Amino acid sequence: MIGAGLAASCCILPMAFIAAGLASAGLMMSMMRYEWLTLPLGVTGLVAAVVVYTRRRQQCATNGCRFVGQRLNQLFLVLGTIVVVASLLLRVFSSWTSEVLAAITS
């Protein structure tokens, strides 16, 4: 759960600060300079979170223990995956995603 949250923080954290009124759009623009660092860290964090989650689930299945917070962990992993994949799509396929977004909104 923590790994998925950290993986999504590369993209959500600056927007959350702006939405909460703690920062301005200038923070978002300054954070975009470090996208070369935050996107690989986000992908790495998400992969690590999925690996830890899978191992923990297999361990509980083998030992017969109850996996506490399984649905919440799955929710965070799915949300983190959506955010990181959307960020990668916007970064790598920017012209394609702009066409798709334009088609959706018009």
Look-up of token digits 């955010």: 83
Provide the pLDDT for residue 24. Answer: 66
pLDDT tens digits, residue range 43-77?
A: 888 888 889 888 888 888 888 777 777 788 888 88
The pLDDT of residue 1 is above 60: no
pLDDT tens digits, residue range 6-37?
A: 555 556 666 676 677 666 666 667 767 777 77
Question: Where do the structural domains in the chain lie, given as residue ranges?
Answer: 2-105
Residue 84 · residue 76 · CB < 8 Å: no
Provide the pLDDT for residue 37. Answer: 79
pLDDT tens digits, residue range 95-104?
A: 888 888 888 8
Residue 11 · residue 42 · CB < 8 Å: yes
Residue 43: how many other CB atoms lie within 10 Å: 16
